[in-house]
């Protein structure tokens, strides 16, 4: 009797090329993405269409988009296992976004917390894309009949909207979209700013000492950790009253595979200077192969081009199957 091979569940995720990828991106998401490749069919996109809700320098956007793709690969995402592509290379993202816009309520979009946050930061450019980009995000996911979406808590609201829109479409037009689930796997380390440890480490931090870039050289990494904010109490322990030290312990634990408590015991009785030097060296050692691989990829543009062209071809083929179904359901004439 012939056995049917069960299809691997599909995962979709991506990052915007809106700045240098950081240690926070690496420990919070990228390391997990790498681990998911063996068990799932993974699609990882550079979300350059989302990036233009904020005004971008075109040459800089092209450069950063390439760099993000190369950093995906340098961090261990295997182009033979995962589908890697630029969002803008699959026109169906924009096509489906329009159709889903017509099935999304204004009230739903006005409740999105990220719209409110970004409107405050970019008060001179509150454009329609900023308001409707959760619909594009829904299209990104639904286009590929995605089963699971790796997300942090800050994105759960967008997954809920995606599910609501998909369920509404399926109700009115018949079964069309897979209803995606948020993938809450092994928690990635929550990495905070080295200068304001109450805030998440961010590539948009105006203070470059607040974040570690994935491509920062060893001496820069160690210098930034030496400057990291701690507190007047000289004890190395985690605690709500010690956000700076807790953050450094979390980072050290994440790159060494230890628990935070084990890390705290290792440095018990030692000074902050010794501790910060050790954290810097551990992070530099973790990121050295990433930087080396990135430099190799930078010298082989033809190889990188072949990866994103092949990725876009596969992604477009999957997207086309969804769009044929969607066009038929809404009453568009087949082309």
Work out whether strand 41-46 and strand 181-183 pair parallel, antiparallel, or are unpaired.
Answer: unpaired
- The whole-angstrom separation of Cα 119 and Cα 258 is 40
> Which helix (H) or strand (E) segment is 21 a member of?
none
> Which helix (H) or strand (E) segment is 82 a member of?
none
- The whole-angstrom separation of Cα 265 and Cα 43 is 40
Q: What string of DSSP letters covers 225-248?
A: HHT----S-------TT-HHHHHH
Residue 150's nearest CA partner among 189, 186, 121, 179 is 186
Tokens of 169: 């479409």
CB 22 within 8 A of CB 179: no
- Side-chain-side CA neighbours of 23 within 13 Å: the count stands at 34
Q: What string of DSSP letters covers 88-129?
A: GG-THHHHHHHHHHTTS-HHHHHT-HHHHHHHHHTTT---HH
Rg over CA atoms, the chain: 21
Residue 176 CB neighbours (<10 A): 17
CB 100 within 8 A of CB 169: yes
Active-site positions read 118, 200, 203
- The whole-angstrom separation of Cα 236 and Cα 243 is 11
- The whole-angstrom separation of Cα 227 and Cα 207 is 12
């Amino acid at each position: 009797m012939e056995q049917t091979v069960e299809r691997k569940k599909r995962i979709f995720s991506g990052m915007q090329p809106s700045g240098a990828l950081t240690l926070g991106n690496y420990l919070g998401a990228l390391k997990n993405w790498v681990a998911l490749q063996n068990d799932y069919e993974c699609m990882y996109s550079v979300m350059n269409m989302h990036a233009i809700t904020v005004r971008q320098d075109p040459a800089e956007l092209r450069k950063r988009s390439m760099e993000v793709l190369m950093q995906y690969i340098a961090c261990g995402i295997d182009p033979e296992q995962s589908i890697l592509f630029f969002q803008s290379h699959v026109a169906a993202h924009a096509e489906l976004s329009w159709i889903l816009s017509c099935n999304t309520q204004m009230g739903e979009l006005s409740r999105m917390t990220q719209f409110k946050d970004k409107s405050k930061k970019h008060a001179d450019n509150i454009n329609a894309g900023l308001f409707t980009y959760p619909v594009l995000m829904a299209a990104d996911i639904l286009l590929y009949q995605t089963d699971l979406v790796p997300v942090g808590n800050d994105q759960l609201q967008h997954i809920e909207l995606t599910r609501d829109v998909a369920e509404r479409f399926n109700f009115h037009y018949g079964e069309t979209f897979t209803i995606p689930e948020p993938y809450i796997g092994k928690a990635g380390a929550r990495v905070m700013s080295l200068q304001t440890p109450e805030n998440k480490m961010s590539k948009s931090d105006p203070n470059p000492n607040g974040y570690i870039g994935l491509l920062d050289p060893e001496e820069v990494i160690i210098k930034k950790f030496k400057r990291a904010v701690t507190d007047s109490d000289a004890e190395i322990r985690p605690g709500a009253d010690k956000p700076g030290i807790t953050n450094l312990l979390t980072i050290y634990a994440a790159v060494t595979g230890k628990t935070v408590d084990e890390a705290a015991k290792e440095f018990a009785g030692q000074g902050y200077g010794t501790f910060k030097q050790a954290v810097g060296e551990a992070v530099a050692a973790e990121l050295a192969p990433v930087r080396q691989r990135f430099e190799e990829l930078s010298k082989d543009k033809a190889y990188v081009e072949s990866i994103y062209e092949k990725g876009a071809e596969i992604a477009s083929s999957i997207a086309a199957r969804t769009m044929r179904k969607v066009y038929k359901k809404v009453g568009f004439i087949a082309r």
